[in-house]
Structure 1
Amino acid sequence: MVKLSEKELAAWEKKRDLNAELLQSLREMKRGDWARKTEFITQPDGSVRRIITRRDGTIEKDEIIPAEKALVATARAATGLSQAAFAKLLGVSVRTLQEWEQGRKMPSGAAATLLKVASRHPEVLQELAA
């Protein structure tokens, strides 16, 4: 990604049509198009490789998540649900789910147990989400 100078940024902002951009985004979402796609690949040591790919094919992020922090990511990936749908199913906010997935906080109690069920038997949560 190229960083624009102040002058270039101002010129770009001037010619933007935010309404058109928002309408285009809504149409893409309704069609099921994606701007970014996250793929989780379980490694032999229990860690998870997370690859975030943009629609144009560029890789935004490629990282290894340690095994102790990978439970949430693998559970959601196994169900195939979006963050919003998975958080709603668990009864937590999307922000809480993001904190868990990024390893800044760890789920405890019933949430941790439900995540273990989700990772081992994703079909159960998929059925509940339907």
Structure 2
Amino acid sequence: MIGKNNVRKPKEMNALNLAYIGDAVYEMYIRHFLVLQGGKPNVLHKKAIQFVSAKAQAQILHYLLPNLTEEEKEIVKRGRNTKSNTSPKNADIVDYRHSTAFEALIGYLYLSDNKERMDSLIQEAIAFIEREYDNEQNKTK
């Protein structure tokens, strides 16, 4: 159980720990968004990949970056530059580092109890990916 004595300031936390929680929070938001749209679990899983893949998260980060605060950009920089002992399975290293940075930002906002800002950025991320997906679909027609 988490008690007051165990609380650490998010700004002081390791960027990989921020990314760890940010990954879970972002995935939950995406799953919630997709479940509300309806569909079978296997279809929902395929749709979720459009939002949670390292490539998608890297694209989201690049899209959001100009509108981030200086404090948020500092968290992103820490997340991007942190060394991980794991290697990406289905992404190149640059996308992987940028996706880690995005997840660190989400984790930071979540642990800082800045849910309004986090919600806003995740909604922007969802809208961005949906536009990108629609653009890709229109190109293949």
Instruction: Establish whether TM, by shorter chain, passes 0.5.
Output: no
Would you tell me which structure has more helix in proportion to its own residues?
A: 2
TM-score relative to the length of structure 1: 0.28
TM-score relative to the length of structure 2: 0.27
When Rg is computed on C-alpha atoms for both structures, the one with the higher figure is 1
